[in-house]
Chain A
């Protein structure tokens, strides 16, 4: 469908307003009054629900990737490559876990991302705290069938988040602007 054509350009003082050709216009149809609504969202949700039988296996694969990244740090220490590997694995879990049906691990993955991202010197990232995050994610996924997993996850999340935020506040105390603008307000 793409056929960019020529945009119209109007120049003002120090800027231009460019109106590209509306090439996607032909992908919109105006339905007559009373026409049956097209529920594309429902169709997509149904397609996703059919895919969901794969999600537990995918979540386990993401946990294994996280554990592999942690193992690389135990072997080689925090290097740019090993740190990025751990961050990417945790970041992906943060974004996917809720879709996969494991929302309880999302906030722990978020806490691990913050620990890695906001510790100024990577050598200062406390490995024990990294281990606790990774183990907590693994345990919650493993025990997801238990009836009390939500309470367990909440307690773990609260504790890990508190310890992480306290560590970040202490380790960034010499950077008050960063602490205020980035860590505390996002």
Chain B
């Protein structure tokens, strides 16, 4: 059995809606997190990311200045900041499939459609902490590996060339724990 030590994790919550920031902060404090930083738009979020170096970012999509998708794209710039690999959870009222795909292609780590729940947020954090994915860099993409599962029946075009096109999956702490059991 695994336990997340939330008191060791530093979060940044980026949302223009003060009510939603308060709700997310309340849930994180309930989990046991002590350090929760807040920003009310993408610009302030980028500044807070640089200043506070959070372990995990939770961002809204629709925001003034620049939105959560643009914030993600700015963070996922190798060399532009000290941690382009920071896990990003997109927490949004958007739930359409095309939005989920756009968020994934921008480099979002986890997608979470509102309404928010403690269980859903916990599961996203658990997945990030226990089962981190490697990053993929191509000419057009830099972000977490978008292949979470292997589909032996896949017949579409192959985007990656040069071998090793199957899912790249490191042994996670969760798998290790299962093996140990």
> CB distance B32 to A91 under 8 Å?
no
Cβ contacts A46-83/B at 8 Å (1 or 0 each): 11100100000010011000000000000000000000
Cβ contacts B85-117/A at 8 Å (1 or 0 each): 111000011011110000000000000001110
**Number of chain B residues close to chain A: CB under 8 A:** 65
A23 within 8 A of B: yes
Interface centre among B8, B23, B122 (most CB of A within 10 A): B23
Contacts of B85 in A (CB 8 A): 4, 7, 18, 20
**Number of chain A residues close to chain B: CB under 8 A:** 55
When A41-B118, A99-B114 are in contact, do A19 and B134 touch as well, CB less than 8 Å?
yes
Contacts of B170 in A (CB 8 A): 19
> CB distance B3 to A38 under 8 Å?
yes
A48's partner among B9, B27, B114 (CB-CB below 8 A) is B27
> CB distance A99 to B116 under 8 Å?
yes
Cβ contacts A32-49/B at 8 Å (1 or 0 each): 010101101101111110
Known contacts A1-B8, A44-B122, then 9 further A-B pairs from the complex at CB < 8 Å, ordered by chain A residue: A2-B10, A7-B135, A14-B139, A14-B162, A28-B130, A41-B31, A41-B118, A44-B30, A45-B118
Q: What's the Cα separation between A45 and B27 when bound, in Å?
A: 7
> CB distance A186 to B98 under 8 Å?
yes
Q: What's the Cα separation between A106 and B83 when bound, in Å?
A: 37
Q: What's the Cα separation between A100 and B130 when bound, in Å?
A: 31
> CB distance B5 to A29 under 8 Å?
yes
Contacts of A37 in B (CB 8 A): 1
Interface centre among B31, B145, B177 (most CB of A within 10 A): B31
A145 within 8 A of B: no
B20's partner among A27, A38, A45, A95 (CB-CB below 8 A) is A95
B8's partner among A7, A26, A95 (CB-CB below 8 A) is A26
Contacts of B29 in A (CB 8 A): 47
A175 within 8 A of B: no
Interface residues of B in 106-145 (CB under 8 A from A): 114-116, 118-119, 121-122, 128-130, 132, 134-139, 145
